[in-house]
Amino acid sequence: MVHAHILSVLDYCNSSYLLATEKYVQKLQKIQNNAVRFIFKLNGKKKWTPISPYLKELHFLPVIYRIEFKIALLVFKCINNLAPNYLKGLICLRDTKRVSLRLDSDFFVLKTPKKTNFSRTESAFQYSGPKIWNSLPYSIRSIPELTDFKKHLKTYYFEVAFKGTN
């Protein structure tokens, strides 16, 4: 029930949340936290209980990492011809130079478009997609299968999100 009614709303158009203000992301995180409190029946007396262990137990990523996960997954689908053509056209692999002084075997780096004068433009998929994709470790970007990619990507973001917790 929580997944159908709350998490689906959080995931809807979440790429547009990427450059949302911190205050707005905190509101979205509060919604997710309340959903977790509902699942574990933490309302009332246990209202001030830290929520991170419960997010971890449910394997829920915090909102900001959910957003990045979804964008990285969409980029993977674009690169592997699993996305619609209108999205695939927004993503381009970087050209590798044939003659180079340095060894550059990373064929999974995307071209990043030039910066614009408008800060809101940077939240567009063609800007945020390559930025998030290029920040991923090579070992994740080079995975060819969708299910393996999802598993490793979620594990990566899970470790980043909860690295300070037990």
Predicted pLDDT at 118: 62
Predicted pLDDT at 2: 77
Q: Which amino acid is at 64?
A: I
> For 44, which DSSP code?
G
Residues 3-45 pLDDT 10s: 778 888 888 877 778 778 889 999 999 999 989 988 888 877 6
Closest CA to 129 of 93, 155, 96: 93
User: What's the whole-model pTM score?
Assistant: 0.85
Token reading at 46: 């246990």
Instruction: List the chain residues with pLDDT less than 70.
Output: 45-47, 95-107, 116-123, 166
Q: What is the dihedral of CA 138, 143, 147, 152, to 10 degrees?
A: -30
Q: In b/e form, how buried is each residue of 23-33, taking b as 16+ CB within 10 angstroms? A: eebeebbeebb
Predicted pLDDT at 71: 93
Predicted pLDDT at 103: 46
Predicted pLDDT at 150: 97
